[in-house]
Amino acid sequence: MRFIETIRITDGVMDNLFYHQERMLCTSTTVFGQPIDFELSKISISVEYRQGIVKCRVLYDNRIQEISFQHYQFRTINSLRLVDGKDIVYSLKSEDRTGLNQLYSGRGGCDEILIVKDGLLTDTSFSNVVLQDSNGLFYTPDTFLLNGTRRQQLLHDGHIQETPIPVDDLKLYEWIYIINAMIRLEDKIRIPVTQVSY
């Protein structure tokens, strides 16, 4: 079993390293019985990846297997389809995304899925979500699949609040924001709630 840390690099600066390091240590300790001996801050970024937004992908098991870089472009997401997550579990950022990919295949004509479990919102196939209400306040489901690093940072800094969000409460919000290691809240990758298909 192998796991992934995806780290955003903006103009040569690695983002949110504390949360990535903590997650990698927690995952390796949980799965392999001891923390991985690697400091993400020691990753060397070559000159060609020191401008713009770059995705650094760290693949590991009980040791580092591969570190790769690529320039990053935001996906265009204009619509979401609600899908039943059933018994899916994705609490660790595993390389194996079989279950998520199967759910994603049910998106129909929509750009992305929004996974529902027991009537409550969780995540998309590749991100956490944050919902904004008409007062401009931001909320994230407490029924997440993966406790993402961006999500943790935004909660810690007080920018978002955690709450259960039943599907029936979607009408109380205006926007659904996509957030993950590569996508910040201020990047405004967001979808109007009216563009969610049931």
52 and 70 in contact (C-beta within 8 Å)? Answer: no
% of residues, the chain, pLDDT over 70: 100
Q: Using only C-alpha atoms, what is the Rg of the chain?
A: 17
* Closest among 82, 152, 93 to 117, alpha carbons compared: 82
Domain-ending residue, one of 27, 45, 71: 71
Residue 117 has a pLDDT of: 97
Residues 50 and 88 in one domain: no
Q: Within a 13 Å sphere around the CA of 57, how many CA atoms are in the beta-carbon half? A: 13
Confidence of residue 139 (pLDDT cuts 50, 70, 90): very high
Predicted pLDDT of residue 149: 98
pLDDT score for 61: 97
Task: Say yes or no: 88 and 55 in one domain.
Answer: no
The Cα–Cα gap between 138 and 131 comes to 6
| Model pLDDT for residues 168-181, shown as the tens digit of each residue | 999 999 999 999 99
State residue 55's pLDDT score: 98
Q: How confident is the model at residue 26, as a pLDDT?
A: 97
Give me the mean pLDDT over the 125-151 stretch: 98
Residue pointed to by tokens 């996509």: 178
pLDDT of residue 33: 97
Task: Calculate the average pLDDT of the chain.
Answer: 97
Question: What is the rounded CA–CA span in Å between residue 50 and residue 67?
Answer: 16
Q: What is the reported pLDDT for 23?
A: 98
Q: Of 71, 95, 119, which one is at a domain's C-terminal end?
A: 71
The residue range of the domain holding 40 is 3-71
Note the pLDDT of residue 194. Answer: 97
Task: Report the alpha-carbon distance of residue 175 to residue 106 in Å, rounded.
Answer: 22
Instruction: Determine the pLDDT at residue 22.
Output: 97
Domain's final residue, options 15, 36, 71: 71
Q: The dihedral of CA 185, 190, 194, 198: what is its sign? A: negative
Give the pLDDT mean for 89-116.
Answer: 97
Q: How sure is the predictor about 24, in pLDDT bands with cuts at 50, 70 and 90?
A: very high
Do residue 25 and residue 122 come from a single domain?
no
The CATH number of residue 61's host domain is: 3.30.470.10
- 190 & 108 share domain: yes
**Predicted local distance difference test score (pLDDT) of residue 115:** 98
pLDDT reported for residue 25: 97
Contact of 192 with 175, CB cutoff 8 Å = yes
Sheet holding 190-192, edge to edge: 161-163, 138-141, 128-133, 173-179, 190-192
